[in-house]
Amino acid sequence: MEISQKIKFGILGGGYSNERDISLKSAKAVNNALIKKGYKSSILNIENKQKLLSKDTYKNFDFIFILIHGLGGEDGELQNFLDESNINFSGSGAEACKKTFNKTLAKSYLPKSIITPKQFTWDFDQKTINKNDKTVKKIVVKPVNEGSSIGVSIVENKQEYVKAAVEKTLKYGEFMLEEYISGKEITVAQVGKEIFPAIEIIPDDNFYDFKAKYNSNDTKYIEATYSSSRQKKLNEYIFSINKEFGCKGWSRTDLIDDGENFYFLELNTVPGMTSTSLVPKAAKYAGYEFDQLVLKIITHSLD
């Protein structure tokens, strides 16, 4: 499907989550790509919820490319508003966004065939893990509604270490505790029905945190190559996950590969589109330049 040059694009960026600055960088990159291709495009810098959910914000645009990460962009409220306002937008609808936004709840929507790390709950009175499993050597503590690895800690499964990590994470609101799985950290982008080559992420300090994502020159990104049978298994896995959530347009799924199984961590309905972002890197391995990727996302969002 060829996208009409008459379409006026609004690139939605900013927002009011902890990922605001990253969102604006994504919005700038996509806006520049569309202008380069001859389209009319403008950045919509959102500072508050009132502006986000006002029809006046969108009155001069035919299509909204959503690049607000986290709260306000990926929780489904915006998608529901745009649907009710009959405004075309990029990516998944409200239901898929609601299902994937909370990292703990997301896993409850998946069948048992999708393997996830073991989950734990926190006893606030005793300040310890409920029904702890001492065979689990390390615990991941992370906010359920933040992205970009904000507020994430990986600690030994000892009460004092987990307690300190929980206290550090509390300022971000609801959090989760799960088993740390040792293996390759990979991420897989799907645009329409096409699955791009998986990317393996190799941070310089064994932890892909916010610093490693955006402020480090030492983090390595390589194409994760597999045998044909294992690649087929991974592709079927990604298709299944996207189908279970009801995703549309594009997504990025984060997993751990322990050499035998692929462990589902989370799915992003509004991935980053900065120069260091993972979907553009994966698109390059698939043979697409950045502007081609942008047009593919728009096309499949309109399908």
Q: Using one digit for the tens of pLDDT, what is the confidence trace for 92-101?
A: 999 999 999 9
Question: For 244-264, what is each residue's pLDDT tens digit?
Answer: 999 999 999 999 999 999 999
What's the CATH number where 215 sits? Answer: 3.30.470.20
Band of the pLDDT at 126, cuts 50, 70, 90?
A: confident
Both structure tokens of 96? 């898929």
- Is 296 found in the same domain as 197? yes
Q: How many domains does the chain have?
A: 3
- Is 293 found in the same domain as 194? yes
- Is 224 found in the same domain as 105? yes
Residue type at position 77: E
Instruction: Count the alpha carbons within 13 Å of 116 in the hemisphere toward its beta carbon.
Output: 23
Closest to 21 (Cα-Cα) out of 179, 147, 182, 157: 147
From 84-93, 119-128, 192-201, 262-271, the region with the lowest mean pLDDT: 119-128
- Is 194 found in the same domain as 59? no
Domain presence at residue 273: yes
pLDDT higher for 125 or 291? 291
Could you tell me what percent of the chain has a pLDDT over 70? Answer: 93
- Is 241 found in the same domain as 110? yes
- Is 190 found in the same domain as 126? no
Cα–Cα distance measured from residue 292 to residue 296, given in angstroms and rounded to the nearest whole number = 6
Residue 210 has pLDDT above 60, yes or no: no
| pTM for this predicted structure | 0.89
Domain presence at residue 263: yes
Domain assignment of residue 53, given as a range: 8-91
> Rounded to whole angstroms, what are the CA distances from 169 to 32, 103, 133, 153, 176?
36, 14, 21, 8, 9
Q: Which residues are catalytic?
A: 19, 148, 214, 252, 254, 266, 268, 272
- Is 111 found in the same domain as 243? yes
